[in-house]
Protein backbone atom coordinates (compact mmCIF):
# COMPACT_ATOMS: atom_id res chain seq x y z
CA UNK A 1 0.00 0.00 0.00
CA UNK A 2 1.34 3.45 -0.92
CA UNK A 3 2.04 6.04 1.76
CA UNK A 4 0.66 9.26 0.30
CA UNK A 5 1.44 11.36 3.37
CA UNK A 6 5.18 10.78 3.28
CA UNK A 7 5.65 10.59 -0.45
CA UNK A 8 9.10 11.21 -1.94
CA UNK A 9 9.60 11.56 -5.68
CA UNK A 10 12.77 11.87 -7.73
CA UNK A 11 13.71 15.15 -9.37
CA UNK A 12 12.69 13.71 -12.77
CA UNK A 13 9.30 12.59 -11.47
CA UNK A 14 8.65 16.02 -9.97
CA UNK A 15 9.78 17.74 -13.17
CA UNK A 16 7.13 15.77 -15.09
CA UNK A 17 4.38 17.37 -12.97
CA UNK A 18 3.11 20.70 -14.29
CA UNK A 19 3.69 23.84 -12.25
CA UNK A 20 -0.07 24.11 -11.75
CA UNK A 21 -0.13 20.50 -10.51
CA UNK A 22 2.59 21.35 -7.99
CA UNK A 23 0.70 24.51 -7.01
CA UNK A 24 -2.49 22.51 -6.51
CA UNK A 25 -0.69 20.18 -4.12
CA UNK A 26 1.27 23.00 -2.47
CA UNK A 27 -1.94 24.89 -1.75
CA UNK A 28 -3.25 21.89 0.18
CA UNK A 29 0.04 21.35 2.02
CA UNK A 30 0.22 25.00 3.10
CA UNK A 31 -3.43 25.10 4.14
CA UNK A 32 -2.98 21.93 6.22
CA UNK A 33 0.04 23.50 7.92
CA UNK A 34 -1.93 26.70 8.65
CA UNK A 35 -4.95 24.81 9.97
CA UNK A 36 -2.75 22.59 12.15
CA UNK A 37 -0.92 25.63 13.55
CA UNK A 38 -4.16 27.50 14.24
CA UNK A 39 -5.65 24.53 16.10
CA UNK A 40 -2.45 23.77 18.01
CA UNK A 41 -1.81 27.33 19.07
CA UNK A 42 -5.41 28.19 19.92
CA UNK A 43 -5.21 31.20 17.59
CA UNK A 44 -8.87 30.95 16.68
CA UNK A 45 -12.09 29.51 17.99
CA UNK A 46 -13.82 26.72 16.10
CA UNK A 47 -16.17 29.32 14.70
CA UNK A 48 -13.34 31.52 13.47
CA UNK A 49 -10.93 28.86 12.19
CA UNK A 50 -11.99 29.19 8.57
CA UNK A 51 -11.77 32.98 8.64
CA UNK A 52 -8.39 32.83 10.39
CA UNK A 53 -7.06 30.30 7.85
CA UNK A 54 -8.19 32.47 4.93
CA UNK A 55 -6.14 35.35 6.34
CA UNK A 56 -3.02 33.24 5.74
CA UNK A 57 -3.87 31.25 2.61
CA UNK A 58 -5.26 34.05 0.44
CA UNK A 59 -3.21 35.12 -2.58
CA UNK A 60 -2.29 38.51 -1.05
CA UNK A 61 -1.12 36.80 2.17
CA UNK A 62 0.92 34.22 0.24
CA UNK A 63 2.48 36.97 -1.90
CA UNK A 64 3.46 38.78 1.29
CA UNK A 65 4.97 35.53 2.62
CA UNK A 66 7.11 35.28 -0.51
CA UNK A 67 8.51 38.71 0.33
CA UNK A 68 9.69 37.35 3.69
CA UNK A 69 11.08 34.13 2.23
CA UNK A 70 12.70 35.28 -1.02
CA UNK A 71 16.05 36.38 0.51
CA UNK A 72 16.35 33.02 2.30
CA UNK A 73 15.56 30.71 -0.62
CA UNK A 74 18.19 28.61 -2.34
CA UNK A 75 18.80 28.99 -6.09
CA UNK A 76 16.86 25.75 -6.64
CA UNK A 77 13.91 27.02 -4.60
CA UNK A 78 13.94 30.37 -6.41
CA UNK A 79 13.88 28.53 -9.72
CA UNK A 80 10.81 26.53 -8.65
CA UNK A 81 9.13 29.69 -7.34
CA UNK A 82 9.74 31.43 -10.68
CA UNK A 83 8.50 28.41 -12.61
CA UNK A 84 5.20 28.61 -10.75
CA UNK A 85 5.01 32.39 -10.87
CA UNK A 86 5.46 32.45 -14.64
CA UNK A 87 2.79 29.82 -15.28
CA UNK A 88 -0.16 30.99 -17.32
CA UNK A 89 -3.38 30.96 -15.30
CA UNK A 90 -6.86 31.25 -16.74
CA UNK A 91 -8.32 33.70 -14.26
CA UNK A 92 -7.41 35.86 -11.30
CA UNK A 93 -9.77 36.24 -8.34
CA UNK A 94 -11.10 39.73 -7.63
CA UNK A 95 -9.62 39.55 -4.13
CA UNK A 96 -6.06 39.84 -5.49
CA UNK A 97 -4.05 41.58 -8.14
CA UNK A 98 -2.57 39.65 -11.04
CA UNK A 99 0.91 40.05 -9.56
CA UNK A 100 -0.23 38.75 -6.14
CA UNK A 101 -1.96 35.78 -7.73
CA UNK A 102 1.05 34.82 -9.85
CA UNK A 103 3.36 35.20 -6.86
CA UNK A 104 1.01 33.07 -4.75
CA UNK A 105 1.01 30.41 -7.48
CA UNK A 106 4.80 30.38 -7.31
CA UNK A 107 4.62 30.06 -3.52
CA UNK A 108 2.24 27.10 -3.78
CA UNK A 109 4.42 25.51 -6.47
CA UNK A 110 7.40 25.72 -4.11
CA UNK A 111 5.47 24.12 -1.25
CA UNK A 112 4.24 21.31 -3.54
CA UNK A 113 7.76 20.76 -4.84
CA UNK A 114 9.32 20.59 -1.37
CA UNK A 115 6.57 18.26 -0.17
CA UNK A 116 7.10 15.84 -3.05
CA UNK A 117 10.86 15.87 -2.44
CA UNK A 118 10.20 14.86 1.16
CA UNK A 119 11.75 18.10 2.44
CA UNK A 120 9.50 18.44 5.48
CA UNK A 121 12.22 20.03 7.62
CA UNK A 122 12.64 22.78 5.01
CA UNK A 123 8.86 23.24 4.76
CA UNK A 124 8.67 23.62 8.53
CA UNK A 125 11.57 26.10 8.56
CA UNK A 126 9.93 28.25 5.88
CA UNK A 127 6.59 28.01 7.66
CA UNK A 128 8.14 29.21 10.93
CA UNK A 129 9.46 32.29 9.12
CA UNK A 130 6.04 33.02 7.65
CA UNK A 131 4.18 32.82 10.96
CA UNK A 132 6.79 34.69 12.99
pLDDT at 32 exceeding the cut of 80: yes
Q: Can you tell me the distance from the alpha carbon of 98 to that of 92, in angstroms, rounded to the nearest whole number?
A: 6
| Mean pLDDT taken over the chain | 91
Distant-in-sequence, close-in-space partners of 57: CB < 8 Å, separation ≥ 6: 27, 30, 31, 34
Q: Is the pLDDT of residue 113 over 70?
A: yes
Task: Identify the active-site residue in 3, 27, 75, 99.
Answer: 27
**SS3 per residue for the chain:** CCCCCCCCCCHHHHHCCCHHHHHHHHHHHHHHHHHHHHHHHCCCCCCCHHHHHHHHHCHHHHHHHHHHHHHHCCHHHHHHHHHHHCCCCCCCCCCCCHHHHHHHHHHHHHHHHHHHCCCHHHHHHHHHHHHC
Q: Is the pLDDT of residue 6 over 90?
A: no
CB atoms within 10 A of CB 78: 14
Task: Compare 98 and 18 and report the one with higher pLDDT.
Answer: 18
12 tagged catalytic: no
What is the C-alpha separation between 35 and 128, in angstroms, rounded? 14
**pLDDT (average), residues 4-8:** 80
Mean pLDDT of all residues in 69-76: 97
Whether the Cβ atoms of residue 105 and residue 84 lie closer than 8 Å to each other: yes
Amino acid sequence: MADYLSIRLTEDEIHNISALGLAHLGDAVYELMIRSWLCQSGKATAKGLHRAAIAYVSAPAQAKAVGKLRPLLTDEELSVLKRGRNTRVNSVPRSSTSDEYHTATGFETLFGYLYLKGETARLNALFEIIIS
